[in-house]
Amino acid sequence: MAQPLALTSGEPAGIGPDITLAAWLRRRELDLPPFYLLGDRAALAERAKALGLAVELAEVSAEEASAAFARALPVVATGKAATARPGQPDGTSADAALASIRQAVADVAAGKASAVVTNPIAKNVLYRAGFRHPGHTEFLAELAASGGRAPQPVMMLWSPALAVVPVTIHVSVREALAQLTTDLIVSTARIVVADMKARFGLAAPRLAIAGLNPHAGEDGTLGMEDVEIVAPAVEILRRDGIAVRGPLPADTMFHAAARKTYDCAICMYHDQALIPIKTVAFENAVNVTLGLPFIRTSPDHGTAFDIAGTGKANPSSLIAALRLAARMAAASS
């Protein structure tokens, strides 16, 4: 039997518990891969009661999760209580969320789970507790550090219709311009190609590199960044033997016909990548962290405090994240 997926609790006051329960209830209908939740069984039971859901919960070890999955939602205890009510984070929220992430990574490293799937966190809640990372991506890179050196994490948003990667991530537009270099574009693209080969089963991934400026700079008349930073990166990647085109005008890269010509769009900053995929695939896009020694996927949405505990949360993105994690794990085995 394949190892189960380790699903983190996320922010206990958010919709993570709601979509976890909803996904497990559809396990047979959708033939979902076995997973277990790392968290507080009592808190999950309370949420199920509030939602009026009849879900059997089994507190088990990671090794027992797959066998329990058909009859009960397996919960592996982290030792951290979660007392927050829906929509109302409290003093237990940060510890519960972070302990769940740390244990999920440790379980994969120990061979107890095949991949990490993370429920949404509330970064403002974590920041108040002293969290110093911009988000999941950077924290996971620190947990994956070997010999004191963290790998370069690359954030991919994936859907069947479109996959995108921002070269600069959770920074202001001004800071993105300061961070953008030829070397960063090249290292990001190389990680994308390596993981698409190893974990997505693509023998020769095709990349489309977006220009930074309108119309990819119009040969320098709208800014020299595409000539001086982006184009040299494309040439280096081409010499690597990678199937790559660019810099391309970002405003014509994402229509249906254009999307058929590449497997992943490499974009220069956060919104250039995320606006198109959230327009095309808002309900089934998956956040994937590339460049790590383990597989990590996540729903492509936040904690949605306003609807937590109401039964309105849509589990589609979590379901897609679970399926993609299992697919990537199978391709890597």
* Closest CA relative to residue 265, chosen from 320, 196, 199: 196
d(CA 101, CA 122): 13
Q: Which residues are annotated as a binding site for substrate?
A: 136-137, 278, 287, 296
DSSP 213: S
Judge contact between 209 and 189, C-beta under 8 A: yes
Q: Which residues are annotated as a binding site?
A: 136-137, 170, 215, 270, 278, 287, 296
Lay out the sheet containing 296-299: strands in order across. Answer: 57-59, 73-77, 35-39, 5-8, 115-117, 296-299, 286-290, 154-158, 163-166, 264-267, 206-210, 243-248
Residue 88, φ and ψ in degrees, nearest 5: -135, 80
Task: Return the SS3 of 11.
Answer: coil
Q: Which residues are annotated as a binding site for a divalent metal cation?
A: 170, 215, 270
Q: Measuring CA to CA, how many Å separate 226 from each of 116, 243, 268, 273?
A: 36, 19, 10, 17
Q: How far is CA 236 from the centre of its chain?
A: 28
Residue 187 tokens, joined: 């290292």
